A = this chain, B = another copy of it.
Amino acid sequence: MEVPRLVDHDRRRAELGEAAIRVILREGLAGVTVRGVAAEAGWSTGSLRHYFRNQHELQAYVVQATTDTLRRRVLPRVQRPRTASSVVEGIATIVEEMLPLDAERREEYALWSAVVAWERQHPPEGGSVTWNDQRAVYRQCVAALRAYEPVREPSQATLPHPDAQVELWAALLHTFVDGLAAQIMNTPGEVSADTAAQLLRSLLQAVPPARPDQGAHRPRAESATRAH
């Protein structure tokens, strides 16, 4: 049996995923055509179709590859150890890693938004990809709130901040972050990065856990990276 050259299919597919991401940023996921992506990657359509039988397979892979790329880019930033000058500032700096406050994060949000819009009009049978990311954002909100929770005396350890309360605040923070990101993206120039950052801090001031906020706080290290 003769074995001709073997090409690392996964490597080629990943290489094509990067080209697809450029296409998505330019034209959206609907612009991911067989011919277009092949041209962007410098391939011929015949070559591309050796790795993806049809457009549907291509788009399904691109959706998965895009979300994987986003996870690899965002998660390390969010979980990076940090020291903050206050509780509000600590939570804010964590959450801001997920907001489109600069070109890099705008690009990430545009990609994520494209995938969300795609899945809304093409409900996948094999389980949604974006719902997992939504849960991940929620868990990061929980982690942020827990990490920068004011250190409590052992006597009142469970009373003021039971887990149910933290999870409720995390859900509120998660929803607020979603809205803030959407406003920054949808009205460029109208809602600036500065006003967004101030709004975020205003919300954190209003939500109970940050109320007694004076002086520096350090994150509880063991829970800063535990969540996933």
Contacts and interface: CB of A to CB of B under 8 A. Distances in A.
A147 interface: no
A130 interface: yes
A176 interface: yes
A38 to B, nearest CB: 21
A128 B169 CA distance: 34
B199 A120 contact: no
B172 A199 contact: yes
Contacts of A199: 171-172, 175
Contact of A30 (B30, B174, B187): B30
B116 A202 contact: no
Interface of A is mostly: helix
A207 interface: yes
A185 to B, nearest CB: 7
A120 B100 CA distance: 14
Nearest to A119: B186
Interface of A: 27-28, 30, 116-117, 119-121, 128, 130-131, 134, 168-169, 171-172, 174-180, 182-183, 185-187, 190, 199, 202-203, 206-208
Assembly stoichiometry (copies): 2
A207 B120 CA distance: 32
Contact of A180 (B27, B179, B187, B202): B179
A183 B134 contact: yes
Contact of A185 (B120, B187, B207): B120
Contact of A187 (B128, B177, B183): B128
A208 B205 CA distance: 10
8 contacts: A130-B187, A131-B187, A169-B206, A171-B202, A172-B176, A172-B202, A177-B179, A178-B180
